[in-house]
């Protein structure tokens, strides 16, 4: 994942929904960081590397939803402290990438 951060934590107005076969999470805005090629989030549930996931990100600017898919590349932590999950986006459409760029620019202004 790129170190360039597109969204700062807490910049979403609504929860981020992340879904895999074994779980569906509604994540609080302060537990999500969007990067150029992926996402990091805190989860009460562990995920195995290479788990495919889908997610919906809600834009704070125009309330538009961005649907993305990705693959978990790292999951560290414990059941007591929670898990830090990192995943990369896969097959991001030009429209979804454009919406993510708009979200990034609205977070900076």
Lowest-confidence segment of 23-32, 55-64, 71-80, 99-108 by average pLDDT: 99-108
The residue with greater pLDDT, 10 or 57, is 57
Q: What is the pLDDT of residue 1?
A: 39
**30 DSSP assignment:** G
Q: What is the pLDDT of residue 19?
A: 66
In this structure, what token pair is assigned to residue 83? 């898990």
| pLDDT (average), residues 13-26 | 68
The C-alpha atoms of residue 7 and residue 109 are separated, in whole angstroms, by 11
pLDDT tens digits along 29-71: 777 887 777 889 888 889 999 999 888 877 666 677 788 889 9
């Amino acid at each position: 994942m790129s170190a360039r951060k597109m969204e700062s934590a807490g910049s979403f107005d609504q929860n981020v929904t992340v879904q895999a076969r074994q779980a569906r999470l509604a994540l609080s805005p302060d537990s999500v960081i969007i990067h150029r090629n992926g996402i990091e989030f805190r989860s009460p549930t562990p995920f195995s590397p290479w788990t495919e996931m889908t997610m919906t990100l809600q834009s704070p600017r125009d309330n538009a939803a961005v649907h993305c898919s990705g693959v978990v590349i790292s999951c560290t932590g414990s059941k007591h402290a929670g898990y830090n999950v990192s995943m990369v986006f896969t097959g991001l459409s030009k429209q979804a990438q454009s919406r993510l760029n708009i979200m990034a620019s609205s977070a900076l202004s």
